[in-house]
A and B are shown apart, each in its own frame.
Chain A
């Protein structure tokens, strides 16, 4: 589904990603862990198409399309979704109105008709319930005045509404209380199927107890330096990153 080949990216002339290789197949869950500042959010931003990051080398293929040439909205319509680490507030734009426009854009791209008002409302209620978001949040402005946890739930709500093929969750667990973490993880598990895939960025094993990864990667200094199964995450939880850093210091 997703192939990243030798991806290099920089911001304001400063190289952040230094040769990422990553392949994700449909029906799988990948986790990326790594120390602060190693480039995890940068990688997700580059995949989603944020303009500020300049790709200097490499390719990203998504379902046979070289997406580096696509606008962010075109990537989204192709089925890419990024749940932001820090969802921003957009005062004055209603959540419901915004997500309705988004859903209809994606449907249009798939050659489907816009949802009727009633069907949309039904879908919205169902997905809001899935992530434990009350109906009145839908009427409010996007994330405006939402608590940290509510913002994260709203990201997963949007994910559920758009039903993407590849979802990147950038530290969706941070800021969630224990119950919310379970709700959101169960929500994600309910959306998982053989046609879609998830890339979960996290610092904590806690989330991976619920959303069990097939593959775990360690990103360090702009490179994926370790790849393993779910036991790699347990090892990191236990021993921290020192051994990874020690092992790969030379290359950096």
Chain B
């Protein structure tokens, strides 16, 4: 089993301290509420060679030696919150982590790319500072079949900065998609924008945690997601938004599809602090359940302590509409094709929201391929 495999894998990686933690520590189990539907023992690791990098679109690859106008690379110490053993792995892996500071001088339209290519188990940690008034697109790509990528990011979006953060969890390289545990800790200052978009339709065991905290007022947080659990895939998205200051605005839009024997989890927590008056928080989670053996666990979790706020939320789990299928059939499309077309359309709504044209087309093409449309 995965847990027993780990110490040896860490030894081999030259991280005896991690091997020690793996040996002595305990892993999250189903008794822990937030891990209830996400069994850790389903992770499977086999070692592989690193495949060659092949960028699906032009971008600036983030590495220790990246050079670009307005980008400063360094190494800094970071403490990620410790809630489970994976956090210990992340914190103990490196003394300092790759730190990217983006200044207002950064004017490139090209996205910054952070690529995850685990050869067995790897911890990828990054710290990003988006300075006052700066704007950047940041894309995480995943590659490496059957391996486990633990990816941790610490993001600070300063005043009036705009940061678009994308995670594309599908096989854009045709080289396989790793198993992923991703944790993002983003903090935002006044009048900033943090827009997160995650698209998952590949891999076998995926868990994403997104934490956003407001440090200032009049800012916007956007969280969009598409998660597709087909085959035997497990996809778990846990989002947590801390509306800690007044006058904050947020919009969360997650769509999920489960078919075959897929398992999907969505947990969207929005916490509005008592003095976070005039908060405007919107959450919508729609799910399509396309097979009897598939499972969706959707849970909005609104904790609102301020009284003068506008918060709306909705969560649905449903099937495709019969009248839509019939309409398409009445024009000569088979039930299967109609189902594919409608499922594709359901998911495409999230992808259509991607503002950057290159990234939107990249995702749409992959999604259409996936759905045979």
Residues of A at the B interface (CB closer than 8 Å) are 48-52, 71-73, 75-77, 81-82, 84, 87-88, 90-93, 97-99, 101-102, 105-106, 109, 141-142, 158, 162
Contacts and interface: CB of A to CB of B under 8 A. Distances in A.
Contact of B329 (A71, A93, A99, A162): A71
B333 to A, nearest CB: 6
Contacts of B337: 101, 105
A190 B344 CA distance: 36
Given A48-B330, A91-B345, A98-B331, 6 more contacts: A76-B330, A87-B327, A90-B324, A93-B328, A98-B333, A158-B331
B326 A51 contact: yes
Nearest to B343: A92
Contacts of A84: 327, 330
A102 B322 contact: no
B314 to A, nearest CB: 17
Nearest to A73: B329
Contacts of A52: 322
9 contacts: A49-B329, A73-B332, A75-B330, A88-B323, A101-B337, A101-B341, A102-B332, A106-B332, A141-B345
B352 to A, nearest CB: 8
Interface string B323-357: 11011111111110100011011101100000000
B331 A162 contact: yes
B345 A49 contact: no
Contacts of B329: 49, 71-73, 76
A101 B326 CA distance: 15
A92 B346 contact: yes
Given A72-B329, A84-B327, A88-B324, A93 B342 contact: yes
B333 A102 contact: yes
A73 B322 contact: no
Contacts of B332: 73, 76-77, 102, 105-106, 109, 162
A77 B341 CA distance: 18
Contacts of B324: 88, 90
B371 to A, nearest CB: 12
A114 B330 CA distance: 19
A132 B157 CA distance: 51
A162 to B, nearest CB: 7
Contact of A102 (B331, B335, B346): B331
B326 A92 contact: no
Contacts of A48: 330
Interface of B: 322-324, 326-335, 337, 341-342, 344-346, 348-349, 373
Contacts of B333: 73, 98, 101-102, 105
Given A50-B326, A51-B322, A72-B326, A92 B349 contact: yes
Contact of B345 (A51, A77, A93): A93
B280 to A, nearest CB: 25
Contacts of A141: 345
A81 B337 CA distance: 18
Contacts of A90: 324, 327-328, 342, 345
Contacts of A50: 326
B322 to A, nearest CB: 7
A102 B334 CA distance: 10
A50 B330 CA distance: 9
B327 A76 contact: no
**Which of B330, B334, B342, B346 has the most chain A CB atoms closer than 10 A to its own CB?**
B330
Enumerate the 9 nearest inter-chain pairs by beta-carbon distance, A residue then B residue, closest first.
Answer: A92-B345, A72-B329, A105-B332, A102-B331, A76-B332, A73-B329, A102-B332, A93-B345, A106-B332
Nearest to B345: A92
A81 B329 CA distance: 11
B328 A98 contact: yes
Contacts of A76: 329-332
B324 to A, nearest CB: 5
Contact of B330 (A49, A91, A101, A142): A49
B89 to A, nearest CB: 40
Most A-side CB within 10 Å, residue of B327, B341, B349: B327
B332 to A, nearest CB: 4
Contacts of A73: 329-335
A45 to B, nearest CB: 9
Nearest to B341: A93
Nearest to A108: B332
B354 to A, nearest CB: 15
A244 B213 CA distance: 72
A1 B323 CA distance: 27
A43 to B, nearest CB: 15
B341 A82 contact: no
B69 to A, nearest CB: 38
**Most chain A CB within a 10 A radius of its CB, from B322, B330, B332:** B332
